[in-house]
Amino acid sequence: MSDPIRVLFICTGNSARSQMAEALLRFMGGSDFEVFSGGTEPKGVNPYTVCVLDEICIDWSAAVSKRLAGFVGQRFDYVVTVCDRARQACPYFPGRHEMLHWDLEDPAEVEGTDEDKLDAFRRTRTEIADRLRPFVEQARVARSAREVLALEALAIEGEGSAAN
Active site residues: 11, 83, 90
- For residue 148, the one-letter residue type is V
- How far is the C-alpha of 111 from the C-alpha of 120, rounded, in Å? 10
Annotate 2-44 with DSSP letters as a single string. PPPEEEEEEESSSSSHHHHHHHHHHHHHGGGEEEEEEESS---
What is the DSSP-derived secondary structure letter of residue 71?
A: G
What residues contact residue 38 under an 8 Å CB cut-off, 6+ apart? 8, 9, 10, 14, 18, 66, 67, 68, 69, 70, 71
Contact at 8 Å (CB) between 9 and 35?
yes
- How far is the C-alpha of 59 from the C-alpha of 78, rounded, in Å? 24
